[in-house]
Each structure stands twice: as C-alpha cells, then as structure tokens.
Structure 1
C-alpha cells in the first residue's frame, strides 16, 4: 500500500482534494489564453471600480489611492503604444532566454548528461531529494537563476535516477520558490528588503538603524527546515501520487543512463577544468576592494560590496550562468566529438531556443496582464485593505505575527514581486507592530515567511508558466491544475511548519540576525 490509499484501498481525503484541484485546474483554458482572459477581467474591474473612493492613501505618492480604469482612450492608447516594450522588458524573459542559451548548449553537447551520470554515481538515490532542495535554496544567491537552471535539472536528475521527473520539478520548485527566504548564504535580497524595512521603521523612529543581515540567522536555520519538510513532502506525498502519471514525452528528448566512455570522461574533466578556471578568474577579479565588480553597500555607502544590488557582480549573474555553461559545453562538445564545426555550436543553441517558443507566447500575455494589473492599482488596493483590517483588530503580538504571515501569503497571490510588495505594505506593518513592541526585524522575518510559501501556487508568479513548460517536456498534458495540485502540499505544510518555527524561534530567543532584536525598543 502506498501513500495514496488507506487500509480499504480508497484514496485519502488529501489525495482526493489534490485530484479535484488538478482536474478543475486543467479545465481552465491554455495558460496563454488564461492570461489573456485575466487581462480582460482586469480591464472590466478597473472600469467598474474607478469611480469609487476607497479611502486609502497610496504609500508611493501620499495621495488618495484610486483604481485606474484601463479602458479610457488614454490608457488604451498607452497600452498599445507600450505593448512591445512591456513584452521585451518583462523581467523573466531576458533572464530565461540568455540562461537557456548557455544551459541548452551544455545539455545538447552532452556535458550535463555526463555530469549527472557522475553525480548519480556518488549520490545515494535516497538522498537525491534533500540534495536537490538544498541546491535550489542556495540558488537564491544568484537571483532568479534557480528557476531556469535548478528546476529543469531537478527533472533530469530524478528521471535519470529512475524516479518521476515531475517530482524532481516539484522538489526543486519548492526549494527555489517556496523556500525563497530560506538561505544560509547572504544575497542581494537581504539588503534590499532591509532598506524598505528601515525606511518604514523611521516613520515611527527617525533614528533607527537596521543591519542588512538582520534576518540571516533565521533564514539560515530555516533552510534546514525547508530541506527536511520538503524531503518528506516529495517522497511521501507528491511522488507516490505521481506513480500513475505516465511520462509520455518523445524518448529521444529524455536523458539516458548509458555508461560514460573513457573519451567522454576525459572530455568531461577537461570541460569541468575550463569552467573552474573561469570561476577562478572571476574570484581573482572580485577580491580587490576596488574591484569593478563591487558596488556601494546599502548600509555603508562608503564601503564597496559584492552582494549589493548595485554591484555589477549581482547584475551579471545571468550572463555568468551563460558563460559557465557555454564554456564547458563547447569544450566537451569538441573533445567528445559532438561538435566538429562552429555551426554545430550555433545549431545547439538554436535547438535550445526552439524549446522556449511556447514559453515566449505565454510570457507575452502574462506580461500584458501583470502590467495592466499593476497599472489598475487593484492589487495594491487589496493589499492595503487587508493590512488596515489587520491593524484594526489589535491582536496580541504572536497572533498578529501569524496574521501578517497569512495576509502576506494571500497578497502574494496578487502582487508577485517581493520587493514591490514589501515597499507597499512595510510602511503599514512595520510602524504598526513597533507600536505593539515588536521589532522591525521580526516583522520582516514574518513577511519573508508569508512571501515565500505561496509563490509556488500562484500563476501570477512570472516564472510559473515556465515551470509548466518544464513539466510538459515530460508529461505533455500538464496544465496549471497539475502544477498547482503538485505544489499545494508544499504550500500548506510549509505555511504551518514555518509559522510554528518562527514562533518557537521567537519564544526561545535565538537571534534573528546581526544586530537584530525581537522587541522594540531593542534592549
């Protein structure tokens, strides 16, 4: 008996619920068509809601927040005039396409296939899940690289090991996106969020100063929680449910498990040496204090940092992914005989780009919808109404923290960007909780939990259509419902366990991060 059935052979309530979500979700239109329909809905709602005054102040401008109708002559003209720019500047588009050029080259040359064979040779099959989730968590250091790198590799690794590839995608997606705020390696998101937190806190206390790594201990320990819980969900809930889902992709497009020949092995090690040599050059370039890869530190503008958002190193993560995969791919291709002329390299990159055609169609409609949703102010209005409602309840501190986590998780379904969302609601949450004696550091930690867990179930996440495409490479019938039903167990269990973890963390008094406290004013 597996995890899908009870003693009588019937499916459990959870499995029946997930099956219902999958069936209902897959009855939705094609994702590209769905985003177009959502665009029409936003236009209609903006027209209906525009005349009303909702009594909210836009924290970005200090003026009354009004819903902006998208069906006026001016807005429609602006929509059509900016359509091309909206599409080509859609944040994930360039990231995905540039990274895929390099990763696709390494994959089509055979380098990644051999690397996975060698990895599987030293990693016990039982430990593939935690290893994949851990790698997915660490990928946050490289901005959004995990979406275009770790998630598809999760499928390849699982399939090559004889496991269901969609389970690999689910585990990697859970680590990259559901565990977005679980990382023991500092990244650019830490000072970015702290900057908004500090600005909001200074509304209440103009002299307060926060450390950019004010949550680093909490996010570091959270990584162990996400790895452990994600491991259990993948192996005990998600993968057993996928046992009846047939992998129906074209056989020639899927990874094989043939043994590595001596020639392939020599080519692999030469290619790997070339990649690490390039990394060594980058490290030597980055070490000097006056390195061109550094940018002003957000907390100390007089100092230069490698991890500030203005640092060129942080802004060149995706080009580096391209280089660090294209270089070994080319070396391996020529040494193994996969490539014999330059046209083979270009053809390999063209083949990789061809697999992104469907994603680009979805990205076009997704970009238009998200832009209209932002311009209409509907998402912001919902966020502010929810935050004000929470403020009016005047709940005890611990209950308020739980409320912020839940509200953030809900708002995240409507406003995708972590920084944009925090910029909007931090001026409400942070001063409100400071008045209740709760520190900005703890409020930010609660926000990061709620912001992470619902990433994996919202089609408004810019990378959500891409993950659907990754799934369709193995199971052609995959739709939004399939992916949402796979990720719901992670959402619910992450939400509950991570919330309890934060409350226990607070009760025990483990430091949240550098120069951080749980109470305001700090002791």
Structure 2
C-alpha cells in the first residue's frame, strides 16, 4: 500500500511535468515572443536611460531603443543577412550531410547491432552501455535502435528485458554530451556559442571541438556509472521476468549476409579515412597543419576545416555501406538520402532564422551587454562551484519542458555566455556546463520524441507499464550521472584543465 502511494505521488508529479511541458509553445513561437520582449524592453529601458560600464572596454553602454526609425529600417534590410551570416549554420548543415547519409543508408543501425551482438558474453553489458553512449554521434539512430536491441539481448541472457530497454535508452540520452568521436551535438551547440561570445569579444577564437577533452574523458566514467546503477539498482529491482506479462512475441531483427558484409566494408572505409587524416596531420609538414607554425591546433586546416573533415568521416562509410548493402542502387537513391537527411534539419533552420534575428536585436539594443554586466556583478562574489551547480540545475530543469538542445541553448547562450565571460570564464566552460545539465534529465523529459518509442518497447514485455514505470527506472541513472558528472566538472575547473583545443576554463 505504501509503495502504491509513493508511485501515485510520482505519477502525479510526472503528469504535472507532462501537462506543463505540453502547454509550452513551440520553440519557434518562443523565439518570436522573445523578439517582441527584446523590442519592448529596449524601448522601455532606453526611455529610463539604463546603462552600464563594460569592464572589458571601460566604455559606458547605453540601452538603445529598437523602435527608432533607423533600427526599424535595419530590421528590414538586414534580416536575411542576420540569417545567412549566422555563424556555424553552414557547419551544422554540412556535417549533417555525412551523418545523415550514414543514418539513411542503414550503416549506423546495422553497425550498432553488429557490435553489440559480437561482444563477448562477459562484456555484453559493458558493450551495450558503451555503444549507447558513443551512439549519440549517430543522431536519432541510437535512442531508436538500442532500447529494443538491448531488451532482446537482456532477455536471452536471463535478465529482465525492461532493464535492457531502459539502459539502451539512458546511455545515448543521459550521456548525450559525452563521446570519443566529435559529432552533430558539438556542431549544434557551437552554432549558438560563437555569436554569443562575439557579443563581448568579437575577436575571441572559438572552435567546434572546444569541449572535446572533457567529453572524451567523461565517456568511460559515465559508462561505469551507468553500469553500476544497472547492476546495483535496476536488475535487482526488476527481478526475474514473467513471460506471461508479454504483450506480443518479440524477436530480434535479422540482417542479411549482404548487410553484415556491407558493415565490414563501411568500417574498413572509415578506418581508411582515419588513416589518411593521420598521414596528413602527423608529419611535420602535413597538409592539415598550420603551414607557417606547424601547429595542429592554432589556425590549422585541421581545426578550420573540422566541419568538412567530420562530414567525410561519416559520409564515406555511409556511402560504401549503402552501395554494398544495396540501399543505394543509383544516383537517385543517393540524392534522396542526402535530401532526406536535410529534411530532418528543417526545424533547426527555422529556429536559426528567428534566433539569428533575436541575437542581432540583442546586440543592436545593447541589452545583452547591459544584462551580462549587471548579471556578472551580482554573481561576482559567488564561487565557481556554486555557479557550476546552479547553472547545471537550471539547465536540467528547463530541459524537462523544452526537449530541443539547440532551442534551449539559443535562448540561454546570449545571456550566460557573455555573463560568464565577464566573470573570466571561457565560452567553452559555460557551454560544457550547459551540455551537462541538458544531458542528465534527457531520460526523464516527457518532451523527448523517443519517449513514446521506449514506452512501446517496454509494453511489449509488460503491458501494464506506463510513463511512471519509465521514470522510476530512469531516475536513478539521471541522479547518478548528474552527481558524478557535476563533481567531475568541478574538479576539472579547480585544476584548471583545458576543456578542448585552445579552450581553457578561464579567459585570463
């Protein structure tokens, strides 16, 4: 009876979150409303004569009304330029060509399944978690493929299949910002970090790999955390599985010999691309090094062209797999897959249009600078760990209501990047804190488009399961990942380690 009351309380809380989240406007509408708020606020604060002294330049910055004749004309004349000149827009779309082809051709799906199936039995659980975390580089493939695949493997191993579905869902989403391979998530957040940093210092050089050292180091740690929760909590809690609760007979998807052979060709082609990149980078006079200084990081073709390099790295195995597996039989199939991968970026492009206008208005009105200066002044006496924990918790809370990572960061970046820069924190630091907060509540957020898919998988094995079942089993992972990852980030900050290439924790 007591357990039932606890479950009812949890269900009521989760239902409240779901209701509130469902009433939240579409991100596009949110940006349109924010544009209206910025225009109105610029007018009001301009009338009040609000100003601040920018500590970076010692200049007095006055809020400027956007409702003046010159600014209204500027809104009309520069709207398209604001959009097309938006930093990293081309980078994101280009990278998506490679990742999209690898996903549409079937390479990611068959490759993920093949790796898990071939893992030694005593390492299967570890491999499922690792593939899940690394699988977030594959976009939508991992949270769609891993839950049903892991459920079937768990069942065959004598474990509860729902435990497999949960861990297959948690690994790619809870560890969304962790990976050993740079991917689309790096490009998406960078798209909004770069213009936000320019509000304070347009000359500051940032790069898409600004968090790579930390996220790569985080990957094995998060794998261990997820494995520990699985063994200590999820498996004992779910206990043995009663097949009578199964709604339908579930069998593993079988792939043809041609598809499995095609994966090997795809993997070898990926290794070949990696080898070519190493040959162009390692030699002292390598093509991808800075031709004057020999640096791999500072103003080198490797860093400046990382977008097209990432595209090629995913594009080649996707194309090779498609040809060998028969999913790409002609130029029409090839073009269709590239087009379909771009279709999935439609919402991102729409968001960028309105976000670019919002950031431009923020910049023209000087509201961003004044808000950053005043906010930094309020936070200047707060210690680093307090700022880290507070910002991570804020992001994690917002994530329960807005599922899109790029939408949230488009709203938060213009506020917190400048604010933290004035407190001497590098944009890479603020971006990483955001990515941690954005990841840890992903498995709990009803706004995740994969949640209904997970529920469908779980109900195959227990028709009585609901959203509360998913939340109750995913919560320990989110809590553990949140605590360990935050502590790791604080330790990283206290030691003062760089977060990525040319990306220290502090500006000075």
TM-score tier (shorter):
0.5 to 0.7
Q: Is the 8 A contact 2:132 2:171 kept in 1?
A: yes
User: After the TM superposition, which residues 359-374 of structure 1 pair with which residues of structure 2 at under 5 Å, given as runs?
Assistant: 359-374=348-363
User: After the TM superposition, which residues 403-422 of structure 1 pair with which residues of structure 2 at under 5 Å, given as runs?
Assistant: 403-406=386-389, 409=392
CA distance in 2, matches of 1:68, 1:383: 16
Farther-moved stretch of structure 1 (446-455 vs 312-321): 446-455
CA 1:171 to 1:15, structure 2 compared with 1: closer, same or farther past 3 Å? farther
Q: Is the 8 A contact 2:284 2:294 kept in 1?
A: yes
Counterpart selection for 2:320 from 319, 331, 348: 331
Structure 1, residues 442-471: CA drift from partner, whole Å, max 9, x if none? Answer: x99986764543445999xxxx9xx96777
1:49 Cα deviation (Å)? 1.8
Q: Indicate the SS of the match to 2:175.
A: helix
CA 1:513 to 1:371, structure 2 compared with 1: closer, same or farther past 3 Å? closer
1:121 Cα deviation (Å)? 0.6
User: After the TM superposition, which residues 32-71 of structure 1 pair with which residues of structure 2 at under 5 Å, given as runs?
Assistant: 32-54=28-50, 56-59=52-55, 61-71=57-67
State the match for 1:101 in structure 2: 97
Counterpart selection for 1:383 from 368, 372, 381: 372
Q: Indicate the SS of the match to 2:42.
A: helix
Q: Is the 8 A contact 2:38 2:362 kept in 1?
A: yes
CA distance in 2, matches of 1:66, 1:497: 43
CA 1:17 to 1:91, structure 2 compared with 1: closer, same or farther past 3 Å? farther
**Corresponding position: 1:284 with 2:279:** yes
Q: CA RMSD in A?
A: 5.2
State the match for 2:204 in structure 1: none
- The number of residue pairs the alignment matches comes to 423
**Corresponding position: 1:113 with 2:130:** no
CA 1:266 to 1:445, structure 2 compared with 1: closer, same or farther past 3 Å? closer
State the match for 1:480 in structure 2: none
Structure 1, residues 157-198: CA drift from partner, whole Å, max 9, x if none? Answer: 334434798986764354344x69999xxx999xx99xx9xx
Q: Indicate the SS of the match to 2:354.
A: helix
State the match for 2:311 in structure 1: 322
State the match for 2:343 in structure 1: 354
1:307 Cα deviation (Å)? 2.9
CA 1:278 to 1:45, structure 2 compared with 1: closer, same or farther past 3 Å? same
Q: Is the 8 A contact 1:453 1:494 kept in 2?
A: no
CA 1:171 to 1:390, structure 2 compared with 1: closer, same or farther past 3 Å? same
Q: Indicate the SS of the match to 1:64.
A: strand
CA distance in 2, matches of 1:444, 1:355: 28
Q: Indicate the SS of the match to 1:294.
A: coil
State the TM-score, normalizing by the size of structure 1: 0.63
Counterpart selection for 1:340 from 329, 347, 365: 329
Structure 1, residues 99-158: CA drift from partner, whole Å, max 9, x if none? Answer: 33222322332322321220221356643664157537xx9xxxxxx5xx4565343333
1:217 Cα deviation (Å)? 9.0
State the match for 2:255 in structure 1: 260
CA distance in 2, matches of 1:58, 1:488: 43
CA 1:330 to 1:223, structure 2 compared with 1: closer, same or farther past 3 Å? closer
User: After the TM superposition, which residues 147-296 of structure 1 pair with which residues of structure 2 at under 5 Å, given as runs?
Assistant: 149-150=138-139, 152-162=141-151, 171-177=171-177, 225-229=221-225, 257-295=252-290
1:82 Cα deviation (Å)? 2.0
Q: Is the 8 A contact 2:64 2:364 kept in 1?
A: yes
CA 1:10 to 1:83, structure 2 compared with 1: closer, same or farther past 3 Å? same
Farther-moved stretch of structure 1 (405-414 vs 32-41): 405-414
Q: Is the 8 A contact 1:50 1:69 kept in 2?
A: yes
State the TM-score, normalizing by the size of structure 2: 0.64
CA 1:429 to 1:52, structure 2 compared with 1: closer, same or farther past 3 Å? farther
**Structure 1 residues without counterparts, runs of 5 or longer:** 140-145, 201-214, 241-255, 297-301, 431-442, 477-484, 515-523
Q: Is the 8 A contact 2:51 2:370 kept in 1?
A: no
CA 1:128 to 1:428, structure 2 compared with 1: closer, same or farther past 3 Å? same
1:421 Cα deviation (Å)? 5.4
CA 1:332 to 1:404, structure 2 compared with 1: closer, same or farther past 3 Å? closer
CA 1:315 to 1:158, structure 2 compared with 1: closer, same or farther past 3 Å? farther
CA 1:385 to 1:229, structure 2 compared with 1: closer, same or farther past 3 Å? farther
CA 1:380 to 1:135, structure 2 compared with 1: closer, same or farther past 3 Å? farther
State the match for 1:23 in structure 2: 19
CA 1:359 to 1:311, structure 2 compared with 1: closer, same or farther past 3 Å? same
CA distance in 1, matches of 2:71, 2:477: 39
Counterpart selection for 2:7 from 5, 11, 15: 11
